[in-house]
Chain A
Amino acid sequence: MSRKSDHIVLALMTTALIGTAVYASRGNRNGLLRNQYLSQEECACDYGTDRCEPDPRTGGAIGPWYGSSQDARSGDWNDPGPGGTCNTSGRRHYGGYRGPIGIDRSGSSRSGFGSRYSGGG
Chain B
Amino acid sequence: MRRQTLAPRPDWPQRMAAIGFDFHTIDDQPYWVEGACYRFDERQIDELEAATQNLHAMGLELVEQIVRSGDYAPLGLNRYAAELIERSWRGREPALYGRMDLSYDGRRPPKLLEYNADTPTALFEASVVQWFWLQDCLPQADQFNSIHEKLIAAWQRWPVETRSPLHFACVLDAPEDRATCEYLRDTCTQAGHDTVALDMSEIGWNGRAYTDLQEREIARLFKLYPWEWLLDEAFGAHLHKTALRWIEPPWKMLLSNKAMLPLLWRRFPNHPNLLPASTNARDIDGELVRKPRLGREGEHTAIYSAAGAIPSQDGDWIYQSCWPLPDFDGLRPVIGSWIVGDEAAGIGIREDDGPITRNTSRFVPHCF
Interface residues of chain A, those whose CB is within 8 Å of chain B, are 2-6, 8-15, 17-20, 22-23, 26-29, 32, 34, 65, 76, 78, 107-121
Of the candidates B145, B173, B199, B214, the one whose C-beta lies within 8 Å of that of A78 is: B214
Q: Is the CB of B134 within 8 A of A32?
A: no
Closest to B146 in A: A5
Closest to B223 in A: A119
Find the residue from A27, A28, A29 having the highest chain B CB count within 10 A.
Answer: A27
Closest to B297 in A: A121
Q: Is the CB of B229 within 8 A of A116?
A: yes
Q: Is the CB of A119 within 8 A of B200?
A: yes
Given contacts A3-B143, A110-B204, contact A15 B22 (CB under 8 A): yes
Of the candidates B120, B146, B182, the one whose C-beta lies within 8 Å of that of A18 is: B182
In the complex, besides A18-B20, A22-B197, A27-B214, 4 extra interface pairs with C-beta distance below 8 angstroms are A5-B145, A109-B205, A113-B230, A121-B120
Q: Nearest Cβ in chain B — how far from A116, in angstroms?
A: 6
Closest to A2 in B: B142
Q: Nearest Cβ in chain B — how far from A107, in angstroms?
A: 6
Q: Is the CB of B215 within 8 A of A108?
A: yes
Q: Nearest Cβ in chain A — how far from B177, in angstroms?
A: 5
Q: Nearest Cβ in chain A — how far from B253, in angstroms?
A: 14
Q: Nearest Cβ in chain B — how far from A50, in angstroms?
A: 9
Q: Give Cα distance in the complex from A59 to B304, angstroms.
A: 68
How would you classify the secondary structure of chain A's contact residues: helix, strand, loop or mixed? loop
Closest 4 CB pairs of A and B: A108-B204, A27-B213, A121-B296, A112-B235
Of the candidates B121, B212, B235, B296, the one whose C-beta lies within 8 Å of that of A113 is: B235
Q: Is the CB of B142 within 8 A of A120?
A: no
Interchain Cβ contacts within 8 Å, total number: 173
Interface size class of B (residues with CB under 8 A): 35 or more
Closest to A64 in B: B215
Q: Nearest Cβ in chain B — how far from A66, in angstroms?
A: 9
Find the residue from A6, A110, A112 having the highest chain B CB count within 10 A.
Answer: A112
Q: Give Cα distance in the complex from A10 to B201, angstroms.
A: 27
Binary flags per residue of B142-184, CB closer than 8 Å to A gives 1, else 0: 1111111100000000000000000001111110111110110
Contacts of A120 in B (CB 8 A): 119-121, 170, 174, 176-177, 180, 224, 296
The answer to the question of B246 belonging to the interface, with a C-beta cut-off of 8 Å to chain A, is no
Contacts of A116 in B (CB 8 A): 171, 229
Closest to B178 in A: A18
Of the candidates B142, B205, B213, B296, the one whose C-beta lies within 8 Å of that of A4 is: B142
Near A by CB (< 8 A), chain B positions 226-243 give 226, 229-230, 233-236, 238
Contacts of A110 in B (CB 8 A): 201-205
Q: Nearest Cβ in chain A — how far from B142, in angstroms?
A: 5
Given contacts A18-B22, A112-B235, contact A10 B200 (CB under 8 A): no
Q: Is the CB of A26 within 8 A of B200?
A: no
Contacts of A19 in B (CB 8 A): 22
Q: Give Cα distance in the complex from A65 to B216, angstroms.
A: 9
Of the candidates A5, A10, A108, A119, the one whose C-beta lies within 8 Å of that of B211 is: A108
Q: Give Cα distance in the complex from A116 to B231, angstroms.
A: 13
Given contacts A10-B19, A18-B22, contact A5 B204 (CB under 8 A): no
Contacts of B121 in A (CB 8 A): 120-121
Q: Give Cα distance in the complex from A111 to B142, angstroms.
A: 45
Q: Is the CB of B205 within 8 A of A108?
A: yes
